A and B are shown apart, each in its own frame.
Chain A
Amino acid sequence: MHMSDAFLSPAVGGAMLAASGGVASVAARRLRRRPDEGRVALMGVLGAFVFAAQMVNFAIPGTGSSGHLAGGLLLAILLGPHAAFLTMASVLAVQAFVFADGGLLALGCNLFNMGFCACYVAYPLACRPLVGREASARRLALGAVAGSVLALQLGALGVVVETALSGASALPLRSFALLLLPVHLAIGIAEGLVTGAVVLFLRRTRPELLAGGAPAAPGRRSLRPVLVGAALAAALVGGVVSWFASARPDGLEWSLARVGAAPPAVDRLHRLLEGLQAATALLPGYAFRGDAAPAGAAPWPAPSAGTTASGIAGALLTLGLAVAVGAALRLARRADRSPRTPAGPP
């Protein structure tokens, strides 16, 4: 469910990166106010735990498919929302940097979808009211399931909305949501049951650990407006920026609703650079300038064989050049290194 760089427009990616970065710095400030080295070590190890736990696939009953723990909710139960958010941030960053899950620009989106939704929305709204210290096992499981279903639905909705706002997919918002949300409902129930099982297991074996999230209670109330504000700001900035960035006033609605021949929205930056490109290009007016096409009426400039040929030839040359440069650099490095290896006396 990782959002990918490949679907993102600069406006959406930048807005989400800024919003998630803001929440991370607020969370970091909250934690720094009550320094506790033990918790720093605990956060590190629980982050690694989530990472390893994501690789333990379990069977989802009745579907024949498998799921794994996303971990945000479990972390929120064990650490409280601020530490859990920062821990999720580190997990997602390692996945983006080292494992090519998502990507660096999409980190903001992923942190919002999987961290913010689980730690700051699903945990306080659906999970914490039900999961008290003396809650019955049934109630605890219910809280965990409600929390994870809410977290995963919001997260999946986040992926859908971010993709649609970026205008990368021809799939309309509604079909995309219908594709993704039911799958995540099943995953959410299974994840909730496993989270509940882990929490019950811990309550039997190490009950003192579950108090970890509790002491944050006094300060929590004052922070809520900030967080709600941050969430609204993210939604607003993402929505408004994309709205204003689209070429036509109804660009957003149009790119979300149209299927088929609709060329995706052009934002201001694209247009600016497009203008720059038109002004500086040595071969102006080439046929393959897709995004400048007006909507509806004349969907695409007529393809012309001449410009296409030069485009294809150029593409092949570029690829050849890139490979050749790579090979040449490699050879140069090898030649550079070989005389130095026999470092002994002549």
Chain B
Amino acid sequence: MAGLESALAHLGSIEALAARATPVHRLDPRAKLLTTGAFLATVVSFGPRQVIPLLPLALYPVALGALGDVPARPVLARLALASPFVLLVAIWNPLLDRAPALAIGGLVVSGGWLSFASILLRFCLTLGAALVLVAVTGFDATCAALGRLGAPRILVEQLLLLHRYLFVLVDEAARLLRAHALRAPEARRPGLRVAGSMLGQLLLRTLARAQRIHRAMLCRGFDGVLRRRGALRLRAVDLAFTGGWCAFFALARAVDLPRLLGGLALGAGR
């Protein structure tokens, strides 16, 4: 129940964020999508125990979020919600891999802790970037970009329809669960049999509503193609955005920037 309502709130907040008009929002969605793809490829290309060389890459989601007026708290909250499975798998690394790998003063860090930290950092970077991307682009524009980049049309339309129906159905499911909670206050969750007929009910309501919506769409001239207002146009600033960030990713991949920076700072201090 709480999950449903928080999911609905999250969907709403993403839409609200995507409706703003900042320079980042005005960039072509294809440029943002491709740049994020390059970012993800760069992040996962680092070795499994590398932590510090990954840090400069945090600049991309941070800068994109700051320029796009995306508040940090909801993004971090969403990451925390998604983290349990990653933690479950990653926690075995420090338990199993105890070979010393790094000494900080007198403290010896094992390889397992390094790879643990690396996995968590990758998790935050990759998923943070995806969340910020959708928050500064909007789901519809992201789908349009996917379509222009070669995704099958039927898949893109499926995504758009799914997203439209989602708000309706999550509401419906929340009503069903509330009704169950009111009638069976001592049962925290429905049992298998009850869940089966609840889901069946949800499906029937879903289908009835879909039929109404589809008829309404046909009345308004729907011919099987969802059209988007305004064509996508690549401008010089889009190319500069993608080119600039890709150059930065290549630099961060080739040169260990934090070490360079640290060496310079310590050298200057001496």
A148 within 8 A of B: no
Chain A's nearest CB lies how many Å from the CB of B1? 8
Q: Is B19 part of the binding interface, using a Cβ–Cβ cutoff of 8 Å?
A: no
Give the interface size bracket for A toward B.
35 or more
Q: Does A8 contact B (CB under 8 A)?
A: yes
Q: Which of A78-94 contact B (CB under 8 A)?
A: 86-87, 89-91, 93-94
Mask, B111-141, CB within 8 Å of A = 1, is: 1101100011011001100110110000100
Binds B, one of A33-41, A122-130, A222-230: A33-41
Pair A311/B262 contact, Cβ less than 8 Å: yes
Contact indicator A168/B47 (Cβ below 8 Å): no
Within B207-248, the residues touching A (CB, 8 Å) are 207, 209-210, 213-214, 217-218, 222-224
Asked if B10 and A170 make an inter-chain contact with CB atoms under 8 angstroms apart, the answer reads no
B173–A300 CB distance below 8 A: no
Within 8 Å CB of A61, what residues of B? 191-192
B162 touches A51 (CB 8 A): yes
What is the CB-to-nearest-CB distance from A143 to chain B, in angstroms, rounded to a whole number? Answer: 15
Q: Is the CB of A99 within 8 A of B82?
A: yes
Point out the residue from B92, B100, B187, B195 that lies within 8 Å of A303, measured CB to CB. Answer: B100
| A206, B49: Cα distance in complex, Å | 55
Task: Provide the A163-190 mask, 1 if CB < 8 A to any CB of B, else 0.
Answer: 1000111110000100000000000001
A105 x B41 contact (CB < 8 A): yes
Say whether B266 contacts A205, CB under 8 Å.
Answer: no
**Most B CB within 10 A of own CB, among A163, A314, A321:** A314
Q: How far is the CB of A47 from chain B (nearest CB, A)?
A: 4
The answer on a CB contact under 8 Å between B255 and A280 is yes
Residue A57 lies at the interface, judged by CB distance under 8 Å to chain B? yes
**Chain B contact residues: helix, strand, loop or mixed:** helix
Q: B83-97 toward A: CB 8 Å interface, digit per residue (1/0)? A: 001100110110011
Contact A48 B197 (CB under 8 A): no
Verify if B185 is at the interface (C-beta below 8 Å from A).
Answer: no
Checking B55, B89, B92, B159 against A90 with a beta-carbon cut-off of 8 angstroms, the contacting residue is: B159
CB under 8 Å from chain A, chain B span 42-62: 43-45, 47-52, 55-56, 58-59, 62
Whether A100 lies near B162 (C-beta < 8 A) is: no
Closest beta carbon of chain A to B46's beta carbon, Å: 8
Q: Are B262 and A315 in contact (CB under 8 A)?
A: yes
Please encode chain B, from 245 to 261, with 1 for each CB lying within 8 Å of some chain A CB and 0 for all others.
Answer: 00000000111111111
- The contact of B101 among A259, A290, A315, by CB within 8 Å, is A290
Main secondary structure of the interface of A (DSSP, over half): helix
Asked if A32 CB lies within 8 Å of chain B CBs, one says: yes
Beta-carbon contact of A49 and B45 below 8 Å: no
B85, A194: Cβ atoms under 8 Å?
A: no
Instruction: Find out whether the CB atom of B191 lies under 8 angstroms from the CB atom of A59.
Output: yes
CB-based contact B202/A300 at 8 Å: no
With both chains docked as a complex, state the minimum distance between the C-beta of A202 and any C-beta of chain B, in angstroms.
Answer: 6
Known: A6-B122, A263-B49, A329-B67. A41 touches B213 (CB 8 A): yes
| A-contacting residues, B164-195, CB 8 Å | 164-166, 168-170, 172-173, 176-177, 187-195
Q: Could you tell me the distance in whole angstroms from the C-beta of B11 to the nearest C-beta in chain A? A: 7
Measured between beta carbons, the chain B residues less than 8 angstroms from A266 are: 47
Is B16 interfacial (CB 8 A cutoff)?
A: no
Contact across chains for A201 and B7 when beta carbons are under 8 A apart:
no
Given contacts A53-B202, A314-B265, contact A6 B173 (CB under 8 A): no
Chain A: CB-nearest residue to B206: A49
Partner of A170, one of B36, B66, B115: B115
Residue B152 contacts which of A13, A24, A38, A49 (CB distance < 8 angstroms)? A24
Q: Give Cα distance in the complex from A8 to B86, angstroms.
A: 12
B98 on interface, CB distance cutoff 8 Å: yes
- A95 CB → nearest B CB, Å: 9
A291 touches B197 (CB 8 A): no
Sampled A-B contacts (15; CB under 8 Å): A28-B153, A41-B161, A45-B210, A51-B162, A52-B206, A55-B4, A98-B14, A201-B197, A205-B200, A270-B45, A291-B50, A315-B51, A326-B62, A330-B69, A333-B67
17 additional contacts (CB under 8 A) given A87-B158, A308-B104, A325-B59: A28-B154, A42-B207, A43-B158, A44-B165, A98-B10, A104-B37, A194-B199, A197-B199, A202-B203, A202-B204, A270-B47, A277-B255, A282-B260, A290-B50, A314-B261, A315-B51, A321-B261
Which A residues form the contact surface with B (CB < 8 A)? 1-2, 4-10, 13, 24-25, 28-29, 31-32, 35, 37-38, 40-49, 51-53, 55-61, 66, 69, 86-87, 89-91, 93-94, 96-101, 103-105, 163, 167-171, 176, 190, 193-194, 196-198, 200-202, 205-206, 209, 259-264, 266, 269-270, 273, 276-277, 280-283, 286-288, 290-291, 299-300, 303-305, 307-315, 317-319, 321-323, 325-327, 329-330, 333
